[in-house]
Amino acid sequence: MKKRITQTAKYWQHQFEIDDKVLQSLKQRVRDLGSPLSIDKVCLFFIRNILEKERKTIRSELQGAEPYRPDQKYAVNDKIVFPHWGFTIGKVVSVRPGYNPVDKRFDIIEVAFPKSSDTIAQLAANIKTPHKLLEKSDEDDQTEDIISISQKIYKRYKQHIRPKIEYFIKNDGSFVSFKKNCFLKELLPKIQEGLLNIVDAVIDINGKPMSVDDLIEPLELYPKGKITDASRFSINYYLHNDNRFENVGTPDLVLWYLNRLRPPQLRAPIYHLQVKKTSFNVNVLSGDLRAFLADIDDEVTPIEYTTTTSDTKTVKFTLIYPHLHAGTIPVLPAVLDILPTADSELLILNFIDGQTGETFLGWLIEETNYIFGFENWYKKYNLPVGTLITLKKTENPLELIIDFNPQRRRPEVVTVAKINNDRLTFQMERKRITAKYDELMLFSVVHPHEVERYSNRLEKQGVSLSQLMEDIFPELMQLSPHSAVHVKTLYSAVNIVKRYPPGPIFYELVTHKSFESLGDGYWFYRNM
Amino acid sequence: MRRYIKPTLRTKYHIDFDWWQKKGQNLRRYLLEHACEECYALVKSDTEIATIDWIDPGTAEVFTVDGIWHVIHNACREEPKYLDPNLPVTSLIFRLFIVNNNTPLTPVEIHHQIKNKGAELILRILSGHRVYKGICHVAPPV
């Protein structure tokens, strides 16, 4: 069955053009509405106009012809249109009786098709039995609502239609667009520079991202006491085109923030969180090492070696030194699951302190795997390396609760990491620990600046992971009566001076001749 | 002349009764080959069986067809072995169209009904230069 031209991909891909008349009527529609239109609505507007035009053409070509129905009676000279033959028009040239044992008596009409060299077809008419052509067809029903047909066409050919409209809107001087909406430039209210300075000051004073509605209020841009879509669009449009402001919200919620309020730590990826060596041959790892690889939730470990948490509302992880030192939390695959989609390269989240209910901001830059903003929170509770931290989702996608499990402040024996004689050393001390922790990964780092200097020196000297492990392992062995070191302890200790995911550390353990497995994740070092 | 289209697995085929007329071939004799024993005896003895005005189930075009078509369509299609998979594939497809009253089918739909032949093979047979027993792709007359 031949389709109408507007119901083919070929039309929307190659033939569809934006008609100036339709464009003028679109502009008039926007003027009448006085508010912006979504790009989807603009696309539907164009489709509807094209369909209406096509219907008009068909109607004028039909010149009073009726659509063919096999159950209708026809007379000589009747004009008939055949929707199933591409709306071809024919004229009845003769009528005679017909018969077959199923349909019994009916009429046979001979129809001539002038546009096809007077081809003649014989067709059934006045039949009393059911026929396929009497069933309702979606695509060729002239009476079907043009709006629903437009929607069906848009759904089917959106990938061809939308880019063309977007390109056109972008290049036509009359329209301005912001995100998925467009508006007529002439309808934008004039906003003075001074008003944008007020917006700047409002965000600065509040110190947090603000929604457009919150910004309109101080600007008093709401005629008749109501915030309109036009005023929302205008403010968004002006702020989007002013370098001072940036949208740090989600695709569904625009939130404006000031570029200059970005913490300086966001200007470049945080050095101590950079991982140079991530590749390792997983096949050489034994079963228990693979289990620990999955158990240690490290954001750099390839996702195929990790275990994903089933609870999509809460994420638990153990704090390692690089994040404690940088004031960050890792964006583990499970953390990513509870984060909203960002609308730009920066997403600002609101964190609620689970202990006090106080709030603070966290910054997530695209393509980094950490969220910055926890330095004060870690200091406030004096959290050690190894603390078990919980992140909880709230009803607001931009708000998360960060928490730990507090414990009574009684002194405990803790491994303290210090730099002594240009070496990372460990000793047992009694200290008060405020939070529940993973005892295999617990460390207290007393002089972070000395550790940083030592770490920088190692970097300059180009000390390899293997050398680093040979230095650290004997120090850790002294803490255990059996001289055994657990892989999680080794991972946590190595990360005090250099950021390494567990995979390469485990690989060194297996391939280095001096390391020997004692089972259950414990290892021994034999100085050869 | 039929408008050329490149047939695909989605192209509909049927028996084109016009083809039989244009080629001057004897449809009645060929239809008799596809009659079961009972129908064959009945039709052979009744030389009065007239032509019928057969209505195409898809387009409502009317073709004057030998009345044997109707007899076979009604009686033989009930025969359990009428669509015998051991028949030559063209005969089997022809019989399939008798059974479904010449409702157009694609090679894939034909394959679903005569399972021992693949849709690709059916397409190759039906789309070749030679037209087998008037089985052609459905083309509008205009």
Q: What string of pLDDT tens digits covers the 528 residues of chain A?
A: 445 677 777 888 888 888 788 888 899 999 999 999 999 999 999 999 888 888 887 777 776 778 899 999 999 999 898 877 777 888 999 999 998 888 889 999 999 988 777 678 999 999 999 998 888 654 445 556 788 888 888 998 898 899 888 888 888 889 999 988 999 999 988 878 888 899 999 999 999 999 998 888 777 766 666 788 888 999 999 999 999 999 999 888 899 999 999 999 888 888 888 887 667 888 888 888 989 998 898 988 887 777 655 467 899 999 999 999 999 999 988 888 889 988 888 999 999 999 999 999 999 988 788 999 999 999 999 999 999 999 999 999 999 999 999 987 678 889 999 998 888 999 999 988 989 999 999 999 989 999 999 999 998 999 999 999 999 999 999 998 888 999 999 999 999 999 999 999 999 999 988 999 998 899 999 876
Write the single-letter amino acid at A241: N
Judged by a CB distance cut-off of 8 A, whether residue B52 touches chain A is yes
Could you tell me if residue A182 is inside a domain? no
pLDDT per residue over A207-259, tens digit each? Answer: 999 999 888 877 776 666 678 888 899 999 999 999 999 999 988 889 999 99
Q: Is residue B100 part of a domain?
A: yes
Judge residue A18's burial from the number of C-beta atoms within 10 Å of its C-beta, 0-12 exposed, 13-18 middle, 19 or more buried: middle
Cβ–Cβ contact B54 with A under 8 A = yes
A237: domain CATH number is 1.10.10.10
Residue A92 belongs to domain spanning: 1-170
Is residue B131 less than 8 Å (CB to CB) from chain A? no
Same domain, A230 and A305: no
Q: Nearest by CB to B55, from A86, A90, A100: name it.
A: A100
Q: Is B59 an interface residue toward A (CB < 8 Å)?
A: yes
Q: Is there a domain that residue B23 lies in?
A: yes
Question: pTM value?
Answer: 0.66
Q: Is residue B1 part of a domain?
A: no
Closest CA of chain A from B81, distance in Å: 24
Residues A195 and A327 grouped into a single domain: no
Residue A148 lies in a domain: yes
Is A498 in the same domain as A475?
Answer: yes
Q: Quick one: A165 and A233 in the same domain?
A: no
On whether both A356 and A474 belong to a single domain, the answer is yes
Q: Is the pLDDT of residue B48 over 80?
A: no
Instruction: Please identify, among A240, A261, A282, the residue that sits at the C-terminal boundary of a domain.
Output: A261
Whole-number Å distance between alpha carbons of A149 and A4 = 12
Q: Where are the beta strands (DSSP E) in A354-436?
A: 359-365, 370-372, 388-393, 399-404, 411-420, 423-432
A332 within domain boundaries: yes
Question: Does residue A181 lie in a domain region?
Answer: no
d(CA A126, CA A104): 11
Residues A137 and A284 in one domain: no
Percent of chain A whose pLDDT exceeds 70: 94
- A256 and A333 inside one domain: no
Token digits of residue A19 = 């008609």
B60 assigned to some structural domain: yes
Residue A74, in any domain of the structure? yes
Alpha-carbon distance of A137 to A7, in angstroms, equals 14
Contacts of B58 in chain A (CB under 8 A): 132
Q: Is B70 on the interface with A (CB under 8 A)?
A: yes
- Residue of A123, A129, A135, A137 best to disrupt the B interface, most CBs of B under 10 A: A123
Q: Which CATH number covers residue A493?
A: 2.40.330.10
On whether the CB atoms of residues B127 and B7 are closer than 8 A, the answer is yes
The count of domains in chain B is: 1
Residues A248 and A380 in one domain: no
Contacts of residue B142 in chain A, CB cutoff 8 Å? 82, 85, 88, 90, 113, 115-116, 119, 121
Residues A333, A423 within the same domain: yes
In a domain, A179, yes or no: no
Q: How far apart are CA A299 and CA A282, in angstroms?
A: 17
Whether residue B52 and residue A101 make contact (CB cut-off 8 A), yes or no, is: yes
User: pLDDT tens across A376-433, in order?
Assistant: 999 999 999 999 999 999 999 999 999 999 987 678 889 999 998 888 999 999 988 9
CA torsion, ordered A235, A236, A238, A243, to nearest 10 deg: 130
Domain co-membership, A22 together with A133: yes
Residue A204 lies in a domain: yes
Q: Do A100 and B60 touch (CB under 8 A)?
A: no
Do A101 and A220 lie in one domain? The reply is no
Where is the domain boundary, A210, A234, A261? A261
What's the CA gap between B15 and B103, in Å, rounded? 9
Q: Is B12 near chain A, with CB under 8 Å?
A: no
Does B61 reach chain A within 8 Å, measured CB to CB?
yes
* Residue of chain A with shortest Cα separation from B142: A116
Residue A286: partners with Cβ closer than 8 Å, 6 or more residues away: A510, A517
Q: What's the confidence (pLDDT) of residue B85? A: 84
CA dihedral A238, A240, A242, A248 (to 10 degrees): 130
Whether the complex's predicted ipTM surpasses the cut of 0.85: no
One domain, residues A123 and A256: no
Of B52, B60, B140, the CB nearest to A124: B60
Of B83, B77, B138, residue with least CA distance to B112: B83
Q: How far is B131 from chain A (nearest CA, A)?
A: 22
How many structural domains comprise chain A? 3
Which residue, among A373, A395, A390, A138, has the nearest Cα to A261 in the 3D structure? A373
Residue B52 included in any domain: yes
B7 occurs within a structural domain? no
What gap in Å lies between CA A45 and CA A468, rounded to an integer?
66
Residue B2 lies in a domain: no
Distance CA A325, CA A448 (A): 8
Please name the residues in contact with A510: beta carbons below 8 A apart, sequence gap of 6 or more: A284, A285, A286, A289
Look up the domain containing B127 and give its range: 13-137
3-state DSSP assignment of residue A478: coil
- Residue B141, chain A, CB below 8 Å: the answer is yes
Q: Which of A205, A237, A261 is the last residue of a domain?
A: A261
